[in-house]
Amino acid sequence: MEEPLRRIIVVLVALFALSAVWATPVLGAEAYRISAKQVGVSADAFWESCQEDTPEVGQTTCEFVSIFAFEGRSVFRESGSPPIRQGGIACVSHDVTDEFGAPVSVETGCAEDFVFTYATDLSSASLSATMPVETLVCTETPEGVFCEPGGGELRDVAVSATWNAVGPPTKFRDRFVSHTETEGFECVFKQSGRGVRTDAVATAMVDGVDLGESAFASLTEGTFKFLDRCR
């Protein structure tokens, strides 16, 4: 996978609420613009668990797994590069943190070759895929935790998941905007979405581990936009 596309996929996954602790890589003291637009059907799910007295007595280790699948049309744009047009994508992340939320290990990966089926009324969906995942290297800064690909070898992880709605689809319209100043640059972050969404319960197997029922899951059909810009 080419580096610009991998970077934009990281942004995309964050946009659609996968709960990895990583964020958009720091691009340095220069102007930049990253944007994305997606139209289609998506399914997402999130699992969490914590173990006390791990790895030592008095400490707690928590694990978080997120799965995302999308079928539709996508356009990604990054300043200085031509647009990247894409169809469906499926992603998984597995994060381990200490009791303070600091990352112990972060693995994430995406696949463009997968099987994603869904009911047109968003009552159910299923995903089957083998995803190449990689370990990210995380750095804590005053602005937050930033994680980037560590350059190690990828490993294939089998992922299967099913979603079942727990209510009827309802219309939604989301919008979020924030403005900040960074190293003399004025930055804006925007994300928005509209369509229909239903809450769901998901079950999944990841890398041979049965995750059980999800802590959160949903099925969505709609249009989403994202913009991250500094100038």
Write down the pLDDT at residue 29. Answer: 52
Taking the C-alpha atoms of residue 132 and residue 122, their distance in angstroms, rounded to an integer, is 28
Q: Which has more confidence, 213 or 86? A: 213
Q: Where are the domains of the chain?
A: 3-230
Q: pLDDT tens digits, residue range 150-189? A: 777 889 999 999 999 999 999 999 898 998 887 788 889 8
- For CA atoms 122, 125, 206, 24, the dihedral sign is negative
Write down the pLDDT at residue 143. Answer: 67
In this prediction the pTM is 0.78
H-assigned helices in the chain: 3-15
With H, G, I as helix, E, B as strand and everything else as coil, classify residue 28.
coil
Write down the pLDDT at residue 9. Answer: 42
Residue 214: DSSP 8-state: -
Residues in contact with 60: Cβ distance below 8 Å, sequence separation at least 6, in sequence order:
50, 51, 52, 53, 54, 98, 99
What would the mean pLDDT of 210-224 be, rounded to a whole number? 95
Q: Which whole-number Å values give the CA distances from 30 to 17, 79, 188, 229, 231, in the listed order?
A: 27, 11, 14, 10, 8
